[in-house]
């Protein structure tokens, strides 16, 4: 018996990518590092804030790949002269991904006090009602 998929329903035209996006989002939800917040800052604006203590701006990269916002962090090289009696501040490499809806774009990023703020905005929606002209043959 085959499992029906959401994108295979005959009345849902153009939603083939939805199942792939849901699977991608489920895969990236596993790791809890670094912790993050998502807030709505305006009617069509959002902000993702990641706690990246110990990372410099040159240690971080932000890219958008196939409607997916990817934040990567590569910590600085460990100083062999430092001896830790307790090490509770994580400085490991990470990759955190967020699936973006159509029309959502990254408008900027700011590293401030160990927090990486990434601002997003949603474009104005298309009109809900369109009249389609019928051509004559």
Per-residue pLDDT reduced to its tens digit, 41-93: 999 999 999 999 889 999 999 999 988 999 999 977 778 898 989 988 777 89
Please provide residue 119's backbone torsions phi and psi, each rounded to the nearest 5 degrees.
-95, 140
Which residue in this structure is represented by tokens 């993702």?
48
- Choose between 1 and 29: higher pLDDT: 29
**pLDDT classification of 4: cutoffs 50, 70, 90:** low
pTM: 0.73
Domains of the chain: 32-78+87-122 (2.60.40.790)
Confidence of residue 30 (pLDDT cuts 50, 70, 90): low
- Which run of H or of E encompasses 28? helix 16-28
Cα torsion 125, 120, 70, 34: sign? negative
> Has residue 1 got a pLDDT over 60?
no
Average pLDDT over every residue of 126-132: 82
């Amino acid at each position: 018996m085959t499992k029906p998929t959401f994108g295979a329903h005959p009345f849902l035209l153009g939603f083939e990518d939805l199942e792939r996006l849901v699977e991608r989002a489920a895969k990236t939800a596993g790791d809890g590092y670094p912790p993050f917040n998502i807030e709505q800052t305006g009617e069509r604006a959002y902000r993702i804030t990641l706690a990246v203590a110990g990372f410099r701006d040159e240690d971080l990269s932000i890219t958008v790949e196939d409607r997916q916002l990817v934040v990567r962090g590569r910590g600085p090289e460990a100083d062999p002269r430092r001896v830790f009696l307790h090490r509770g501040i994580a400085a490991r490499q990470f990759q955190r991904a967020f699936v973006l809806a159509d029309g959502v774009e990254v408008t900027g990023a700011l590293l401030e006090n160990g927090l990486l703020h990434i601002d997003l905005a949603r474009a104005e929606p298309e009109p809900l009602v369109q009249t389609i002209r019928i051509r004559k043959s």
